[in-house]
Amino acid sequence: MTGSSTTYLLEMQNITKRFPGVLALDNVTLRVKPGSVHALMGENGAGKSTLMKCLFGIYSMEEGKILFNGSEVSFANSKQALENGVSMVHQELNQVRQQNVMDNIWLGRYPKKGIFVDEKKMYEDTAAIFKSLDINIDPRSKVSSLSVSEMQMVEIAKAVSYHSKIIVMDEPTSSLTETEVNHLFRIIKRLQSENVAIIYISHKMEEILKISDEVTIMRDGQYIATRSAKDLTTDEIIKLMVGRDLSQRFPEKENKPGEVILKVTDLTAETQPSFSNVSFELKKGEILGIAGLVGSKRTEVVEAIFGIRGIKSGTIELNGKVVNNGSPQHAIKNGFALVTEERRSTGIFADLSISFNSIISNMKHYKTKSGFLSDKKVAGDTQWVIDSMKVKTPSQKTSIGSLSGGNQQKVIIGRWLLTKPDILLLDEPTRGIDVGAKFEIYQLINQLAAEGKGIIMISSEMPELLGTTDRILVMSNGKAAGIVDTKTTSQEEIMRLAALY
């Protein structure tokens, strides 16, 4: 055993990984101490997730070696990694949603009584882990009935169930409220006290500085630096991540809101409990934020406007005419577009090309008289998406699942712009996206508003709402608690309204 191995639980030395046309990791090193929270930071495409997938046996590496607990390891797959004490909570949750919670936790390793699954033991073991982590979820609940934040807690409990020595958390707080983030931090502290190391991937600077012991920064597939978290500031992290000063987190606003383009009156959901009597107006060229705590029914309102959810009563008027968005197809035809929160499950076709993902919402436009797709039109519009959205990709044929989260999101926004919408509905559009790509998406939203599109944007990040919107609708427990002017409001006023009902 080498001297360094006694200090570190994990050493990834000189890791190199290539994909067709891309050097994803170039000689990267990462060293993690036992019982520490080690943050891994970098812009989208920096190679963070790729490095973790090499550790976890999802990708094989071309060069380098991995030492774990002082011994060299090379996991052939994620099952091997889990059995050896390395687990990973992925940003894009891959759960069997039609199964219950405890099935998801013990899938592939059910406790048995003879040849049968021991349901009683499975329930008790799950309940015991939940109790130790202070998670209040019924182990028999269907995963599909849980909120995104509850699904995330189930994944963390699953990682703990493997008695892991090291847990990788990829953007674990991207859809959590402040209360849930504090709960997660308590879980992390408890795991640390048991000498479990956490590799923590996040773009949230304040969070990183609060929770981490050490921070490793990557850029363009290369290792840049490792520093003690207490010696870093937000500005220093940004400079190391992007290789330049980023003094402005939000671009200058250039849009000038005009006349009312969308009027929503007394909108009430078909199935209750949900939202009721929600009214607001959206002006042409305006960015209207929607704030609220998890459970405030922000997403449900936007989904009802887009025809995903049924409406019991109320009206939606576009340019002074009542529209009936009975389905997403009707909504698209009426000039609406929706970028969903859950990119992986409801936004992209991960195994298919950027080209397919760019044109899928506008297929009729590409059909020739003989019923075939026009390759020329498809290629032209795909290139427009890549160029105008600044998508980093080797080619149009690259599968979208191999792109970074920020680049996937740009393709989705580009896809919807090809439908030439009047109203763009954005649900957490920068979730899990780094500071550089966020800035580009803010610029894009700003530019679309300046062109006269009406934009509604849900965000759980208060600085984002205050930095990008013109007005903010605050939802509280399914009701519209108030609309505030972004220039004159404060975080305190928004939080007061969010807790009103």
**Based on the domain organization, do 300 and 178 belong to the same domain?**
no
**Based on the domain organization, do 163 and 311 belong to the same domain?**
no
Contacts of residue 286, Cβ cutoff 8 Å, sequence gap at least 6: 255, 257, 449, 454, 455, 470, 471
What's the pLDDT at 228? Answer: 96
Establish if 444 belongs to a structural domain: no
Establish if 399 belongs to a structural domain: no
139 contacts 126 by C-beta, under 8 angstroms: yes
Helix, strand, or coil (residue 471): strand
For 257-271, write each residue's pLDDT tens digit: 999 999 999 999 999
Share of the chain above pLDDT 90, in %: 51
Domain count, the chain: 2
| Closest-CA residue to 37 (of 133, 220, 140, 168) | 168
What's the pLDDT at 203? Answer: 76
Average pLDDT score, the chain: 88
Establish if 352 belongs to a structural domain: no
Encode 426-442 in three state secondary structure.
EECCCCCCCHHHHHHHH
* Per-residue confidence band for 424, with pLDDT thresholds at 50, 70 and 90: very high
Pull the structure tokens for residue 96. 């069997």
What's the pLDDT at 345? Answer: 61
Separation CA 119–CA 197 (nearest Å)? 31
**Based on the domain organization, do 225 and 273 belong to the same domain?**
no
Is residue 218's pLDDT more than 60?
Answer: yes
Establish if 377 belongs to a structural domain: no
| Closest-CA residue to 407 (of 392, 429, 427) | 392
Helix, strand, or coil (residue 350): coil
Whole-prediction pTM value? Answer: 0.59
For 228-251, write each residue's pLDDT tens digit: 999 998 878 878 887 755 556 788
Q: Final residue of a domain: which of 208, 242, 276?
A: 242
**Based on the domain organization, do 115 and 166 belong to the same domain?**
yes
What's the pLDDT at 1? Answer: 35
The predicted model gives 395-421 an average pLDDT of: 86
Establish if 474 belongs to a structural domain: yes
* Per-residue confidence band for 354, with pLDDT thresholds at 50, 70 and 90: very high
CA–CA distance from 491 to each of 140, 250, 465, 472 (Å)?
A: 38, 17, 10, 11
Is residue 327's pLDDT more than 50?
Answer: yes
What's the pLDDT at 247? Answer: 57
What's the pLDDT at 181? Answer: 86
- How many CB atoms sit inside 10 A of residue 76's CB? 9
**Based on the domain organization, do 114 and 193 belong to the same domain?**
yes
Collect contacts of 125-128 with beta carbons under 8 A, ≥24 apart: 125/161, 126/101, 126/102, 126/157
**Based on the domain organization, do 226 and 268 belong to the same domain?**
no
Which of the pair, 139 or 419, is modelled with greater confidence? 139
* Amino acid, res. 333: K
Establish if 388 belongs to a structural domain: no
Separation CA 299–CA 308 (nearest Å)? 11
The predicted model gives 279-302 an average pLDDT of: 93
**Based on the domain organization, do 459 and 310 belong to the same domain?**
yes
Is residue 173's pLDDT more than 50?
Answer: yes
The order of strands in the sheet holding 166-170 is 86-89, 166-170, 197-201, 37-41, 214-219, 222-228
What's the pLDDT at 5? Answer: 43
**Based on the domain organization, do 84 and 144 belong to the same domain?**
yes
Separation CA 501–CA 489 (nearest Å)? 20
Is residue 330's pLDDT more than 50?
Answer: yes
**Based on the domain organization, do 153 and 264 belong to the same domain?**
no
Q: Final residue of a domain: which of 185, 214, 242?
A: 242
Helix, strand, or coil (residue 86): strand
| Element holding 458 (H helix, E strand) | strand 454-458
| Closest-CA residue to 92 (of 410, 437, 426, 401) | 401
Is residue 301's pLDDT more than 80?
Answer: yes
What's the pLDDT at 291? Answer: 94
- How many CB atoms sit inside 10 A of residue 162's CB? 17
**Based on the domain organization, do 262 and 236 belong to the same domain?**
no
149 contacts 133 by C-beta, under 8 angstroms: no
What's the pLDDT at 244? Answer: 57
Least confident range from 136-140, 204-208, 222-226: namely 204-208
CATH classification at residue 276: 3.40.50.300
For 98-135, write each residue's pLDDT tens digit: 899 999 999 888 888 888 988 999 999 999 999 988 89
Establish if 423 belongs to a structural domain: no
Establish if 382 belongs to a structural domain: no
**Based on the domain organization, do 285 and 313 belong to the same domain?**
yes
**Based on the domain organization, do 26 and 85 belong to the same domain?**
yes
Place of tokens 């639980």: 9
Give 40's Cβ-side CA count (13 Å radius): 29
| Domain span including residue 135 | 3-242
Is residue 419's pLDDT more than 90?
Answer: no
